[in-house]
Amino acid sequence: MDYRQLFAQDNEAVLERYELTMERVKAMEAEQTVAAPFDAYFKKTGAFIRIIGELSQKVEKGRYRALSLEELEEWNRRLYEDILPQNYETSYANPAWAARELGAHMGPVLSYLYTEIRGEIAFAVESRLTEITILNELFIQIYNLFEGEIPSVQEVKDIIYWFNSDYTDLTAAYRIREQLDPSLSFGKDIVMDSDLKDLRYLYYYGEYVSEEERKLAGFLNSLPQETIDRMAGTYTEGYRKGFEVMGRDLSKKRTVAVLYELGFERMVKKAIENFRALGLEPVIYRTAQWSVNKNPNRKRGFHGTSPNRQYDYDHRFDSALYMKKGFTDRKLAVQRTAYETWKEQAGDYGGPALIETFGEEGFQPMNKPEAFSLSEKQEKLTIACANEASQVANQYIPGEETSFTIIAFPKPSIGEHFEEIFEETIRINTLDYENYKKIQQSIIDCLDQADYVVITGKGDNQTDLRVKLHCLEDPSTQTNFENCVADVNIPLGEVFTSPVLAGTEGTLQVTSVYIGDFQFKNLTMKFEDGRVVSYSCDNFEDKEAGEALVKQMILKNHPTLPMGEFAIGTNTVAYAMAQRYGIVDKLPILIVEKMGPHFAVGDTCYSWSEDAAVFNPDGKEIIARDNEISILRKEDLSKAYFNCHTDITIPYRELGEIYGVTKDGRKLPVIAGGRFVAEGTEMLNEALDGCGG
């Protein structure tokens, strides 16, 4: 079935309304009924909607994909030029400019409206006329309000609030459906039906396409099929192994979410074939377009390089405009209904398979007072809503029945050695499973004797942490640490545990670390009883601005978080590669966490599935699946989870010692002077010695 046929009935039902909105917006061009300075705003936004009308018409008549590469590039420029960095300072999408032009209070509200309307790009290429229509109607309703006397800001806010509340049964419900329903095949059809050597396909998505995507897709086209098969095979086999090592039944699942960035389609196509051979039909969906569905800390779904990361940052909390208890209650009710509607698909869902990228320069955001931010009350409301939404999702997609996998590759922006680094990354992603399993078991055998572990930094690194371990009642059958090789987290190379919070304390510091799109400088966090009590970073001269960034990106706006994981990375080969090319500060946490000890704040590694027994390859059960907070699920589920898990790694070069301490005070060295010293781990130093790291 043609993907568009799924929406044919909806489009037919809304067609008259859609055409009326387009006619009305076109008429605005000649009208002089709105006073300055707002007339310029409405004419500019109306012009963008008319471009969407042109695009939608080309898509519906099959003309868009018939365009030449040069014509598609021109369309992409028209759609995105207004928010590119060189134009953003005088764009209504910029809340600071909108505030200057339209007023300190009205400007940011209308900036939100323009930004939301920009989501029509995706709706046009996906032939979803209903979404375009309701956004156009919202725009017209607010335009009508400005004809005559200028309305109050509250009047405009009220319209926006009720729009978002009333339409959650479309916006929030569709977001759940598109993550579960494989028949929504827009992205999948592009991958499977396009000639991937013809780079015009990149423009079919409607996403911003930069030189980055073109270079990446071109590079993958240059690789032999054997290499593509190896990349895709590592990725899909990691997913399969995840079910195997967790003791979960993959045969009960029918779908897998394949998440990637534009340019990886050749690998994704092979991965789809592999997943189908496993009995899984891939679900491929776009990153969220509606503000009601966006996560301010990440993009989930296919997407291209951001046309402007400052634009994304400025609008990360647009939900503050309508975030009230009534709205969250309404959204949660809609989500429950949506999961019930799609419960069969939810039961089939096996979990996500994610392809991450790295290589972009660190983003230094500018905090603008004109941009929306959540009040303390709204932060609490958002957290409570997310917690309850996770509980609802877990009822239909139990965590103990699913798995996942993540793999990462570099982007061309990593520099002149891109192709070499890409080849090295493939090698790192396929290191010998058996060798690392034995080495990591040596570390586990050492630390299973310990009561707690001490981690210290060296040089300028002031880390000094004590991590309390669970008591093993039967060391012959129990262990604290999971022996993590190449399955869900690729590449291989770590042992990890969920610490006991009482007795876990001290200072964690790292000079540079990437969390999402942000490069944190001199990140420092202090722990007492396993919980964060203070934090800072040097990203801004203003100390409070640095604290706010840490709270947003790492604590996810919680006042504090527990240490949910302590791990020791063993992938010294990855570290040596990073040192050799000078890209340590460009690697994603997925790889960096394997290059030294790392600590996660938030939930444990076993959140939502703590009661499912997990075993290491040696047959011992990993008993450190809970802590003092997660165990509260047995009394009050709302107190047990934070719905976040953020890793922070200390690189080997900043590391002093890691050693366990037994109850009788004996010291059990694992790392000293940045080198592995535990018996059986000596091979890991070969890569370190070779890079001088």
Q: How far apart are CA 624 and CA 497, in angstroms?
A: 6
Q: Cα–chain-centroid distance for residue 73? A: 27
pLDDT in tens, 246-287: 889 999 999 999 999 999 999 999 999 999 999 999 999 999
Phi, psi of 209, rounded to the nearest 5 degrees: -115, 120
Q: pLDDT at position 2, please?
A: 62
pLDDT tops 70 at residue 390: yes
Sheet with 452-457, strands from edge to edge, namely: 531-536, 518-528, 500-515, 464-468, 452-457, 655-661, 667-672, 675-676
| Alpha-carbon distances, residue 462 vs 459, 593, 675 (angstroms) | 8, 19, 18
Distant-in-sequence, close-in-space partners of 100: CB < 8 Å, separation ≥ 6 = 107
pLDDT in tens, 315-365: 999 999 999 999 999 999 999 999 999 999 999 999 999 999 999 887 888
Assigned token pair, 356: 């991450």
* Burial tier of 444 (Cβ tally within 10 Å: 0-12, 13-18, 19+): buried
H-helix or E-strand spanning residue 506: strand 500-515
* Secondary structure (3-state) at 77: helix
Q: How far apart are CA 296 and CA 91, in angstroms?
A: 21
Count how many Cα atoms sit within 13 Å of the Cα of residue 57 in the half-sphere of its side chain.
9
Q: pLDDT at position 651, please?
A: 85
pLDDT in tens, 56-78: 999 999 999 999 999 999 999 99
Single-letter residue type at 463: T
DSSP E strand stretches across 26-73 = none
pLDDT tops 90 at residue 689: no
| Alpha-carbon distances, residue 212 vs 202, 219, 299, 415 (angstroms) | 11, 11, 18, 11
Q: How far apart are CA 450 and CA 601, in angstroms?
A: 22
Q: How far apart are CA 118 and CA 52, in angstroms?
A: 9
pLDDT in tens, 278-328: 999 999 999 999 999 999 878 999 999 999 999 999 999 999 999 999 999
Q: How far apart are CA 217 and CA 268, in angstroms?
A: 11
Q: pLDDT at position 693, please?
A: 56
Tell me how crowded residue 661 is: count the other CB atoms within 10 A of its CB. 17
pLDDT tops 90 at residue 184: yes
Question: Interior CA angle at 450 toward 447 and 454, to 5°?
Answer: 85
Answer whether 353's CB lies under 8 Å from 236's CB. yes
H-helix or E-strand spanning residue 258: strand 255-259
CA-wise closest residue to 414 among 582, 220, 595, 231: 582
Bridge-based pairing of strands 597-602 and 563-569 is: antiparallel
Q: How far apart are CA 572 and CA 596, in angstroms?
A: 8
